[in-house]
Structure 1
Amino acid sequence: MRAAVLAAADRLYYALGIQAVGMDALRAETGVSLKRLYSLFPSKESIVEEVLHGRHRLWNDLVEDAVRAGGARQRLVAIYDMLARWFDQDDFRGCMFINSFGELGATSPRIAEIVRAHKAQFQARLTELVVEAGASSSLAAQLAILAEGAQTTAAIAGTSDAARQARAAAEVLIDAALRDPDAESARTAPASTAPASTAPTGTAS
């Protein structure tokens, strides 16, 4: 029953928006009484959290399937091919994490934390792939921004063109990074002993 509620919540939240779907809508969709819903989940926010955790696992599986084969460069480019396939699905409505942050990020610190962690972990995986390709780790942030921007653009435009455009831009960045004679030295140089900057840092959203 818990799995059925989460599946319905995922489907409705993604199609209609989190704030548009109340507990009554979940009751109607699943046939589970409100009393039983609240015994399974203490609050709507707890359902949203579980849905996002599920989406995180799904995203990781898609990324790993995409980068399973090929050379280091091809594995990076394959992420944008995966995005193109996703964007072409009839039910594509953008990134669930970006959508959730837009709806609840300002009012729910826990949801904001989950979204930030998801995006940070994606960029960390890109960093691993970039370093394996022999480029500076700074390339990962640039590739992540392309992927994130493509998701938002595709949701608005309703086409997968953004994935192909992001792929082309990624290839330019990757090739430039791999040709850069300073890339290898930047990747292998020891950490600077200079005091760390106090400026805030962030990850792609």
Structure 2
Amino acid sequence: MSTSDAITRAALRLFYRQGFHATGVEQLSQEAGVTKKTLYRHFSSKDHLVEAALELRHNEFMAKVRAAVDAVAVSQRPAGYLDFIASWVQEADFYGCAFINASAEYASLSEQPHRLAHQHKQALQAYLEEICAQAGYMNPRVAAMQLLLIGEGLIVSCQVNGACPELIMAGKEMLVLLSAQRAADPAQRAHPAS
């Protein structure tokens, strides 16, 4: 692993656990096992390190989602997504969604961390649209938005309240409403927007 990668991974751990603004450069360099001078040689500012950490989180999170969801039958992938969320929110090191957290700390739509959060959610929605189309939803775009909202609601609710089994079950039960949108005939299935 390169020094740059080690710094980025260490930064992501700290940012995710305690927040972006609450994490100082001194602590970042200590966590990465480098001097501040070395940190600044690889990242010209803390803002650049925040961006690198969010890009790493995006790539890792999307790979993890895809691995979990693509492992289940095509027709069950929307449910598989909620199963993934339900499992993730119960992990010991769950501190919410790094992108929701970033957009809260960098509230202006023009700030780069907020833009990266937006891009992440757009990529996630595109993936959900893909699995909803595969599962036979008549309007995969709308179904994907609804599935995203259920998942985001679960993430935030569990971040605030802890991984409450009743919340998780309520989120999963909402999928029944989405299932009514499936086409009975595979020939009627809509294709994802290009």
Q: TM-score if structure 1 supplies the norm length?
A: 0.82
2:166 paired with 1:164:
no
How far residue 68 of structure 1 moved from its aligned partner, in angstroms, is 2.0
Tell me the equivalent position of 2:69.
67
The verdict on how the C-alpha distance between 1:160 and 1:60 changes in structure 2, with shifts beyond 3 A counting, is: farther
How much is the aligned-residue C-alpha RMSD, in angstroms? 2.1
Pick the structure with greater CA Rg. 1
Aligned residue runs from structure 1 range 21-32, under 5 A: 21-32=23-34
Percent identical residues:
32
Q: 1:151 is matched with which residue: 152, 155, 159?
A: 155
Classify the secondary structure of the residue corresponding to 2:172.
helix
The verdict on how the C-alpha distance between 1:111 and 1:22 changes in structure 2, with shifts beyond 3 A counting, is: same
Classify the secondary structure of the residue corresponding to 1:2.
helix
Tell me the equivalent position of 1:115.
117
Looking at structure 2, the residues matched to 107 and 175 of structure 1 have their Cα atoms a distance apart, in angstroms, of 34
Looking at structure 1, the residues matched to 76 and 123 of structure 2 have their Cα atoms a distance apart, in angstroms, of 20
Looking at structure 2, the residues matched to 90 and 134 of structure 1 have their Cα atoms a distance apart, in angstroms, of 35
**Equivalent residue pairs, number:** 185
- Following superposition, which runs of at least 4 residues in structure 1 exceed 4 angstroms of deviation? none
2:184 paired with 1:176:
no
Tell me the equivalent position of 1:126.
128
Q: What are the ranges of 5 or more consecutive residues in structure 2 without an aligned counterpart?
A: none
Q: 2:14 is matched with which residue: 12, 15, 26?
A: 12
Q: TM-score if structure 2 supplies the norm length?
A: 0.87
Residues 150-205 of structure 1 deviation map (CA, whole Å, 9 limit, x = unaligned): 111111111153333212112x1232101689xx48x37xxxxxxxxxxxxxxxxx
CA contact 1:76–1:130 (8 Å) conserved in 2: yes
Q: What are the ranges of 5 or more consecutive residues in structure 1 without an aligned counterpart?
A: 189-205
